[in-house]
């Protein structure tokens, strides 16, 4: 039994959800998101809630149950509040700058790294060492944050690199003399 899957997803006021031809679409103040529905799980729209239940008692159906419920919850949360990730850049000469639909990173390479911001995302740089990525789709926000972090992962000796805000970097001691 999935503890997460048992709870129905509440639809707040101002959000409209509908199920058509195996596609769930959720429309809210921030935009519209759609998701393809799994055949192993049934979805019911009733009383301002979306209930998710497994079709039968097989292992694949039960394993999809909790995940599908969480994905539906992410759609509802995305169109109401949105998602954001904050990246911290540390290192001498490391900096970031948002220029319209491009993000320019200087990470100690012989060249600057220019990244195109995906459609539907907004990137802000309140200062040179902070990057805030926000949007309505949780998956695309996390994916773009991971792509930025991939350019210079934090290293354990000096802690230089790009890390998520609140991420703990395990520090190692250097060589002993």
What is the pLDDT at residue 120? Answer: 92
Gap between the Cα atoms of 9 and 119, Å rounded: 27
| pLDDT mean across residues, the chain | 92
- Can you list the residues of the chain whose pLDDT is less than 50? none
> Residue 6 is inside which H or E element, if any?
helix 3-6
Gap between the Cα atoms of 95 and 117, Å rounded: 17
What is the pLDDT at residue 22? Answer: 87
> Whole-model pTM?
0.90
Gap between the Cα atoms of 43 and 118, Å rounded: 30
Tokens of 117: 């911001």
What is the pLDDT at residue 3? Answer: 84
What is the pLDDT at residue 1? Answer: 65
pLDDT digits (tens, 9 = 90+) for 43-66: 999 888 999 999 998 999 988 999
Greatest distance between any 2 Cα atoms in the chain: 69
Collapsing DSSP to helix, strand or coil, 72 comes out as: helix
Rounded-to-10 torsion of CA 96, 116, 26, 5 = -70
Name 20's Cβ contacts closer than 8 Å, sequence gap at least 6: none
> Residue 162 is inside which H or E element, if any?
strand 161-164
> Residue 96 is inside which H or E element, if any?
strand 95-99
pLDDT digits (tens, 9 = 90+) for 37-47: 989 999 999 88
């Amino acid at each position: 039994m999935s503890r997460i899957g048992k709870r129905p997803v509440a639809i707040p006021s101002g959000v409209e959800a509908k199920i058509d031809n195996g596609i769930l679409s959720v429309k809210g103040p921030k935009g519209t998101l759609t998701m393809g529905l799994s055949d192993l799980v049934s979805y019911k729209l009733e009383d301002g809630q979306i209930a998710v239940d497994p079709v039968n008692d097989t292992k694949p159906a039960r394993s999809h149950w909790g995940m599908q419920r969480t994905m539906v919850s992410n759609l509802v949360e995305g169109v109401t509040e949105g998602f954001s990730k904050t990246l911290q850049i540390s290192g001498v000469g490391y900096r970031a700058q948002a220029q319209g639909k491009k993000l320019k990173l200087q990470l100690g390479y012989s060249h600057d790294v220019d990244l195109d911001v995906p459609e539907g995302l907004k990137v802000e740089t309140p200062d040179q060492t902070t990057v805030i990525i926000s949007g309505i789709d949780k998956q695309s926000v996390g994916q773009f944050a991971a792509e930025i972090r991939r350019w210079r992962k934090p290293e354990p000796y000096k802690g230089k690199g790009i890390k998520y805000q609140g991420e703990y970097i395990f520090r190692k001691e250097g060589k002993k003399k």
